[in-house]
Structure formats: structure tokens, C-alpha cells
Amino acid sequence: AQKVTQAQTEISVVEKEDVTLDCVYETRDTTYYLFWYKQPPSGELVFLIRRNSFDEQNEISGRYSWNFQKSTSSFNFTITASQVVDSAVYFCALSEYTGTASKLTFGTGTRLQVTL
């Protein structure tokens, strides 16, 4: 069975601070996908990144960066110089790599509050 753990329930930072959101996963599959989604207060779920299991290269997109470490089954997300607009719930998710549509297993989410 697949499992995603986001141990940080809530994080509060002051604007311009860097913040890292942790994600640890469990799966018996040798190939799989990992995702991060952002859910702002309005409710929609915004896709941020997809990473497949055989690509361990870290990725940077503007102020966002992701660190995938297969050895520790972690896929952590760092926001550099946080802004108030980053306030949201962030979900890490895992799916099988089947070539067709697969279910997502979500973590419980981390609520990030960025204040001035």
C-alpha cells in the first residue's frame, strides 16, 4: 500500500524567510510519480510539480525548489524568500507509474502561513 506523510501540520513564517515542507512516502512500486499541489484559501488545487521515480534531479522554478531523495523516500519542497501569497495548504501526493490514469495518494497537507 502507498502512504504519504507530511509531518508538519502547520508552519508559520515571516515574509522573506525560507521555508521547507517535508514529504516522506512509502511504496512497494519501483516506478512511481510524486507531486506537489497548492490549495489556497479559495479551494482550488493547483499543480506545482511532477517527478518520476527514476529522475532524482532536483528542480528549481523561481522561488520554488524540490529535493527528491530516493534513498530516504523524501520529496521536500522549499520556498525561498516566502511571500504572503504563498499562504496555502500544500499537499504532497504519490501515484503508480502505469502509463494510464492512476489514483493519487495524498498526504494530510501542510498549512503554511506567511505573515508580514
Partner 1 sequence: GAVVSQHPSWVICKSGTSVKIECRSLDFQATTMFWYRQFPKQSLMLMATSNEGSKATYEQGVEKDKFLINHASLTLSTLTVTSAHPEDSSFYICGAHRQETQYFGPGTRLLVL
Q: Which residues bind partner 1 (CB under 8 A)?
A: 33, 35, 37, 42-47, 50, 52, 91, 95, 97, 100-101, 103-104, 106-109, 111
Kindly report the three-state secondary structure assignment for every residue of the chain: CCEEECCCCEEEEECCCCEEECCEEECCCCCEEEEEEEECCCCCCEEEEEEECCCCCCEEECCEEEEEEHHHCEEEEEECCCCHHHCEEEEEEEEECCCCCCCEEECCCEEEEEEC
Nearer to partner 1, 11 or 17 (CB): 11
Shortest reach from residue 43's CB to partner 1, in Å: 4
Shortest reach from residue 10's CB to partner 1, in Å: 10
Shortest reach from residue 58's CB to partner 1, in Å: 19
Contact 88, 38 (CB under 8 A): yes
Shortest reach from residue 28's CB to partner 1, in Å: 19
Nearer to partner 1, 47 or 56 (CB): 47
Nearer to partner 1, 80 or 102 (CB): 102
